[in-house]
Structure 1
Amino acid sequence: MRITNRMLNNNVIRNINRNLEIMSRTQEQMASGKRVNRPSDDPIVVARILAFKTSIAANDQYKKNMEDAKGWLDASESALGMATEVLQRARELAVYGSNGTMPRESMQALGKEVDQLLDEMVQVANTSYGGRYIFGGSQTTTTPFEKISDQSGKVSSVDYKGNPAALNWEIAPGVVVAVNENGGEIFKDVIDIFKLLIDLRNGLDEGSYTDVQSTLSKFDQAIDHILNIRATLGAKSNRMEMAMSRLDDNQIGLTQTMSKLADIDLAETVMNYKNQENVYLASLATGAMVLQPSLIDYLR
């Protein structure tokens, strides 16, 4: 096959443009710091990078769920810690009022303190976290416990307005954790803590040593009941902490692997660029000689 000047010229220009394109792509990699900047650069690598990004984004959401779940659990445990303190103080007052030697006026004074403890317990039961009531079940925007007062203005009972629904947080694919405890079971169903405080207050107000004494064992039961729930909350909180630590390690691994796929080795890329630049300059120099006009060109 005869090689014409036109064919030679076209080959030279095509090779120069190809070398320039290769150098331009490497220059773009250095500027962006990324091995691939568009799907056409390497479709397989781009697909793997997108898969890693999807996993990392999902893990970020799971991390947020875990943090919210742990905050909810810790707020619940802290509230029940205050409830335990209220019960322990009420039991101390019950012990004072059941010794049979205290004057009625002194017992009534203790009854007033118990009345304050009752208000404090209602406030604890209505604890909120992030603007949501933690012991109301799924009704997180409605005050779960409501005081009912008698004609004298004293609290005669406390009604529960919440429900037993669980609040479930997804912390991993297919892994769901209930972050709340049933407020009704905590404060009323197993042992009615509010009624216990009301009975103690009434016994002190009436100066009835036997009524006051009868509450002592119930206070022990109530304290044990609250402590058991606190243990459950603490175990869940520890689980969230371990899960977050494990997720952090996983995120580091995913990020490092994705970086190996997506990010350039700057030193290697600079070296490649210099080599490509030399090749391009050489092709320009060679092309300049090949494309020099000949005498025949002028005679045409």
Structure 2
Amino acid sequence: MRVTSRMLNNNVIRNINRNLENMARTQEQMSSGKRVNRPSDDPIVVARVLAFKTSIAANDQYKKNMEDAKGWLDASESALGMATDVLQRARELAVYGSNGSMPKESMEALGAEVDQLIGELVQTANTSYGGRFVFGGSKTTSAPFTRDNSGVSYSGNTKDLNWEVAPGVSMSVNVNGEAAFMQVVDTNNDGKLEGIFSLLQELHDALTGTNGKSQSDVSGTLSQFDQAIDHILNLRATLGAKSNRMEMAMSRLDDTQIGLMQTMSKLEDIDLAETVMNYKTQENVYLASLSTGAKVLQPSLIDYLR
């Protein structure tokens, strides 16, 4: 095959351009810190990197869900802790009032404190987390407990709030107010449950001698307060166990995220020292191609005729 000057010129220019493109690609890698910046760089690596990014983004959302779930659980447990304090104080007042030797004025003072405890417990039962009421079931936008002259009423429901904390794994994070405060004490051992607010109101009436109650009825509330306290403690234990599970799950997810990011980094991030060395090699090749091209592309007769 006859080699012409045009063929030599085209080959030289093509090789120079290719060397320049290699330098530009390596320079882009150094500036971005990534081995692949577009799918055409390495389709297989890009597909794997996108899969890793999808998994990492999903895990980030699960982490947020678990943090929110743990916050809800901790807020509920804290509120039930305050409810336990209220019940323990009410039981102490019941013990004081059941000794039979206190004057009427002292009994009424105890009753007045119980009335304040009812108000405190209503406020505790209306605890909110992030603007949502934790004991309202799925009705979280309005206070579930209200108190009027007829007593304390519950306007929430008994539905669970479920958080998705892993693919296909959901966890109930709430205790509804009906189960926590309204269906607690079996007063007559007949399976009919009474609420904590009703129990406190009975103690108040017994201490003050109102609504058909008398001082002799005070001692009968002691065992019921024990039931109520045990009930709240059992709920707190359940919430605490779920909170601990969330902590372990978040720790495990953090370890998973680190592994995913390390593997993705190996796929897409450059070895800077190696890339710089490659760039210097390509630069030398490019300069050598320019030098060679200068010798190959000799002036033609047309250059002298200008």
Please state which band the TM-score falls in when normalised by the shorter chain: over 0.9
Q: Secondary structure of the equivalent of 2:218?
A: helix
> What residue is the counterpart of 1:32 in the other structure?
32
Runs of 4+ off more than 6 Å: none
Q: Secondary structure at the match of 1:115?
A: helix
- Which residue pairs with 2:200 in the alignment? 197
Query: Secondary structure of the equivalent of 1:88?
Result: helix
Distance in 1 (alpha carbons) for counterparts of 2:20 and 2:300: 26
SS in 2 for 1:36: coil
State the shift of 1:208 in Å: 2.4
Aligned 8 A contact 1:111 1:205 in 2: yes
Mapped partners of 1:291, 1:47: distance in 2: 44
- The aligned amino acid for 1:197 is L
Q: Mapping of 1:79-158 within 5 angstroms?
A: 79-149=79-149, 156-158=150-152
Note the 1:233-252 alignment, pairs <5 A: 233-252=239-258
CA apart distance, 1:260? 1.0
Query: Counterparts of 1:53-68 in structure 2 under 5 Å?
Result: 53-68=53-68
Deviation at 1:105, TM superposition (A): 1.2
**Counterpart for residue 181 of structure 1:** 175
Residues 31-80 of structure 1 show CA distances to partners (whole Å, capped at 9, x for unaligned) of 11111111111111111111111111111111110010000000000000
Distance 1:76 1:296, change over 3 A: closer
CA contact (8 A) 1:99 1:209 kept: no
Deviations 1:184-212 (A, max 9, x none): 01101133100000000000001823211
TM-score by length of 2: 0.93
Give the AA of the match of 2:251. S
- In structure 1, how many angstroms separate the alpha carbons of the residues matched to 2:285 and 2:242? 63
Unaligned runs of 5+ in 2: 186-194
SS at match of 1:267: helix
Deviation at 1:261, TM superposition (A): 1.0
Partner Cα distance (2:122, 2:180) in 1: 12
Whole-Å Cα distance in 2 between the matches of residues 298 and 4 of structure 1? 20
Instruction: Report the secondary structure of 1:136's partner residue.
Output: coil
For normalisation by structure 1, the TM-score amounts to 0.95
Identity of aligned residues (%): 78
Hey, what does 1:255 align to over in structure 2?
A: 261
Whether the 8 Å CA contact 1:49–1:262 is kept in 2: the answer is yes
Report the AA paired with residue 260 of structure 2. Answer: L
Residue 242 of structure 1 and its aligned partner are, at CA, apart by 0.5
Which shows bigger deviation, 183-192 or 281-290?
183-192
**Are the aligned partners of 1:138 and 1:167 in contact in 2 as well (CA < 8 Å)?**
yes
Counterpart in 2 of 1:291? Answer: 297
Deviations 1:87-143, CA, capped at 9 Å, x for gaps: 000000000000111111111110000000000011111111111000001110111
Instruction: Tell me the CA shift for residue 298 of structure 1.
Output: 5.8
Question: What is the aligned partner in structure 1 of residue 158 from structure 2?
Answer: 164
Which position in structure 2 is the counterpart of 1:268? 274
Contact 1:169–1:176, Cα closer than 8 Å, also in 2: yes
Please state how far the C-alpha of 1:297 moved relative to its aligned partner: 8.0
SS at match of 2:51: helix
What amino acid sits opposite 2:269 in the alignment?
D
290-299 or 169-178: which moved more? 290-299
The alignment of Structure 1 onto Structure 2 pairs a total of residues equal to 293
Task: Read off the aligned partner of 1:238 and give its amino acid letter.
Answer: N
Retained in 2: the 8 A contact 1:144–1:161? yes
> 1:277 offset after TM fit, Å?
0.3
Give the Cα–Cα distance (whole angstroms) in 2 for the partners of residues 39 and 90 of structure 1. 70
Deviation of residue 157 (structure 1)?
A: 1.8
CA distance in 1, matches of 2:27, 2:196: 73
Q: CA deviation at 1:148?
A: 2.4
After alignment, is 264-273 or 42-51 more displaced?
42-51
